[in-house]
């Protein structure tokens, strides 16, 4: 199991966009993906 964090304190820098695209690609390649958002 791999755990990947996409972290940056600044807002609007692309965290959600990168996370969604990375998750989609990993799922497309056959990984079981759980994506969670811990943004306060
Ligand atoms: N690589 C990129 N090139 C151009 N625009 C981008 C890129 N990544 C994200 N964006 C755009 O920047 C905006 C903010 O992106 P996103 O919502 O992913 O950032 P965020 O870090 O998750 O923001 P927040 O802190 O508000 O959750 C969106 O309009 C998105 O389409
Ligand atoms: Mg976001």
Domain count, the chain: 1
Domain that holds residue 34: 1-40
User: Considering only CA atoms, which of 1, 37, 2 is closest in space to residue 16?
Assistant: 37
Ligand 1 nearest-atom number relative to CA 19: 18
User: What is the value of pTM for the model shown?
Assistant: 0.87
What confidence tens digit (pLDDT) does each residue in 8-39 have? 999 999 999 999 999 999 999 999 999 998 87
- Residue 7 pLDDT class (50, 70, 90 cuts): very high
pLDDT, average across residues 2-10: 93
Residue reference for tokens 């807002």: 11
Residues 26/4, Cβ–Cβ less than 8 Å: no
pLDDT at 14: 94
pLDDT at 38: 86
Residues with CB under 6 A from ligand 1: 11-17, 39
Structure tokens at 28: 């497309």
């Amino acid at each position: 199991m791999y755990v990947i964090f996409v972290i940056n304190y600044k807002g609007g820098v692309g965290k959600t966009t990168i996370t969604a695209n990375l998750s989609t690609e990993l799922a497309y390649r056959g990984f079981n993906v759980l994506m969670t958002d811990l943004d306060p």
